[in-house]
Amino acid sequence: MRLTDDERAMLDGKGGQAVQKAMELLVRYGEALGAERFVDTNNVAGVPGSSTLFLKKYYEQHAGNGGYEAIYSLYDLDADQIMSVPKANTYCCHLQGGMDPENWAELGMSEEAHQHFQEDEAQVAARGIQILKTCTPYLAGNVPAKGEHCAWMESSAVVFCNSVIGARTNTEGRESTSAATLTGKIPDWGFHRDESRRGTHRIEVHVPVESVLDWGMLGYFIGYAVEENIPVITGALSQSNLIRHKHFGAAAASSGGVEMYHIVGVTPEAATLEMAMGPSRPAATIPYGPAERRAIYDRLNSVGRDPNVDYVMLGCPHYSIEQMAEAARLLAGKKIRSGCHLWIFTSRSVKGMADRNGYTKAIQDAGGLVMTDTCSAISRAVPKGTKVVALDSAKQTHYLPAMANVEAWFGTTEDCIQAALTGRWNGELK
Ligand code: F3S
């Protein structure tokens, strides 16, 4: 790779040992990718140095030290010794983790694990890393500008960043984001480059795509159809909004590996079909009509058999304030059926707003729980004894049944809340 003077200085150890190791790692990474240079980044979303109790104990056992700097050095930066880790050299935010800071016992976490969670968070904050603790950093204060080079983990956030905001990131890993946090550098490769952002496949939508459910199903269909390619979507989509994009992108990134999409006339790099595609012709043109819509709904509900629901999980990706308001409205003055649980996941930032607006109270008064920082898939936690789950997220429906060994129903938020109130699944495709 061709290095600038400041990159060479970091590699030579001018910024200290941890920065040097981070630069070494990034050079190895860039060379493996075939990148010729780095781009500067001042927007990193990762989990730098953060650990679970399991990871801490593993390093205590195998390296004699499971502290924050040990994990950052040995695990994140692949160093062979423990180094002093300086403050972040970039704007960096911490993504979701595995534990709610208040309802950790509900998630089945131990007091010891909670104690470690608090110590870990204090170390992260001391390095100047923002404690957003969410998969939706763009709803909690980290909104990059169009064209900004970022280094983000979390597939649902990456696809939103590239497609809806028009900022630029690959789906980074823990190592590269932790190294970027210290150096402000990331290889100039993939979605950082214009030629890698153009559409490859055309999706023609022939059936109205209106609700959040519909947007999620279309995203889920497209992920299967294009896998890791870049779809360009035309046709009968309703007015887009933040929630629709959030569910669409998360679904497409789950059933496939979609990291970027274009919707002609909607997303920032797709004013026209020609602009979205560039000089290439689509590798395939794929229709999405009533039959495909029906088939994808059935596929998402293929692991639901028993109509008796004992757990409703909402908030994948983490709920926005508008979704919190909708849940509160649907639950106002009602009670969740005895034996059924409702957990709603969001960011601390959105929960703060929901608290002030009375939404959290309305949800709690009905018997639901509002949790932050995590979700059932990430924490691998469902209420004890859960056999059948109801979900309004195609992404969570994709992952949770296998992870938690449960049946799952997929439907609208309203279907899910009805299931929480009655203990029965009555959703159907309208
Ligand atoms: Fe977020 Fe969990 Fe879904 S971290 S995107 S709510 S799987």
Is any ligand 1 atom within 6 A of the Cβ of residue 372? no
pLDDT exceeds 90 at position 423: yes
pTM of the model: 0.98
Is the bond preceding 48 in cis, omega lying within 30 degrees of 0? no
Chain segment 84-128, per-residue pLDDT in tens: 999 999 999 999 999 999 999 999 999 999 999 999 999 999 999
Question: In a mutational test of the pocket of ligand 1, which residue from 246, 313, 395, 400 has the highest number of ligand atoms less than 8 Å from its CB?
Answer: 395
The pLDDT-based confidence of 177 (bands split at 50, 70, 90) is very high
**SS3 of residue 94 by DSSP:** strand
Q: How far apart are CA 353 and CA 243, in angstroms?
A: 17
For residue 338, which of 229, 423, 216, 251 has the smallest C-alpha distance? 423
The pLDDT-based confidence of 156 (bands split at 50, 70, 90) is very high
Question: In a mutational test of the pocket of ligand 1, which residue from 95, 159, 220, 378 has the highest number of ligand atoms less than 8 Å from its CB?
Answer: 378
Q: Residue with the nearest Cα to atom 2 of ligand 1?
A: 375
The pLDDT-based confidence of 403 (bands split at 50, 70, 90) is very high
Residue 379 Cα to ligand 1 midpoint, Å, equals: 10
The pLDDT-based confidence of 378 (bands split at 50, 70, 90) is very high
Is any ligand 1 atom within 6 A of the Cβ of residue 391? no
pLDDT exceeds 90 at position 356: yes
3-state secondary structure 320-336: CHHHHHHHHHHHCCCCC
HSE value, Cβ hemisphere, 13 Å, CA-based, for 28: 11
Q: Which atom of ligand 1 is nearest to the CA of 157?
A: 5
For residue 66, which of 57, 75, 74 has the smallest C-alpha distance? 57
Chain segment 28-73, per-residue pLDDT in tens: 999 999 999 999 999 999 999 999 999 999 999 999 999 999 999 9
In contact, 154 and 135? CB cutoff 8 Å = yes
Chain segment 306-315, per-residue pLDDT in tens: 999 999 999 9
pLDDT exceeds 90 at position 74: yes
In contact, 337 and 421? CB cutoff 8 Å = yes
Question: In a mutational test of the pocket of ligand 1, which residue from 396, 400, 403 has the highest number of ligand atoms less than 8 Å from its CB?
Answer: 396
Chain segment 322-346, per-residue pLDDT in tens: 999 999 999 999 999 999 999 999 9
Rounded to an integer, the average pLDDT of 124-148 is 98
Q: Residue with the nearest Cα to atom 4 of ligand 1?
A: 135
Q: Which atom of ligand 1 is nearest to the CA of 135?
A: 1
Residue 421 Cα to ligand 1 midpoint, Å, equals: 24
Q: How far apart are CA 185 and CA 195, in angstroms?
A: 20
Beta bridge partners of 240: none
Q: Which atom of ligand 1 is nearest to the CA of 375?
A: 2
Query: How high is the mean pLDDT of the chain?
Result: 98
Is any ligand 1 atom within 6 A of the Cβ of residue 299? no
Fold annotation for 5-194: Aconitase; domain 3 (3.30.499)
311-422 and 5-194 share a CATH fold: yes
Q: How far apart are CA 417 and CA 229, in angstroms?
A: 35
Residue 84 Cα to ligand 1 midpoint, Å, equals: 32
Residue 156 Cα to ligand 1 midpoint, Å, equals: 8
pLDDT exceeds 90 at position 236: no
pLDDT exceeds 90 at position 129: yes
Domain boundaries, the chain: 5-194, 198-300, 311-422
Residue 27, CA distances (Å) to 36, 39, 43, 45, 94 in order = 10, 12, 19, 20, 24
Q: Residue with the nearest Cα to atom 6 of ligand 1?
A: 316
pLDDT at residue number 68: 98
Beta bridge partners of 149: 168
Is any ligand 1 atom within 6 A of the Cβ of residue 135? yes
Q: Which atom of ligand 1 is nearest to the CA of 345?
A: 6
In contact, 21 and 73? CB cutoff 8 Å = yes
Residue 219 Cα to ligand 1 midpoint, Å, equals: 16
Q: Residue with the nearest Cα to atom 5 of ligand 1?
A: 317
Residue 418 Cα to ligand 1 midpoint, Å, equals: 22
In CATH terms, 311-422 corresponds, of 3.40.50.800, 3.30.499.10, 3.40.50.720, 3.40.50.300, to 3.30.499.10
**SS3 of residue 111 by DSSP:** helix
Residue 149 Cα to ligand 1 midpoint, Å, equals: 23
How many percent of the chain have pLDDT more than 90?
100
pLDDT exceeds 90 at position 283: yes
pLDDT at residue number 184: 98
Q: How far apart are CA 390 and CA 417, in angstroms?
A: 9
Residue 275 Cα to ligand 1 midpoint, Å, equals: 32
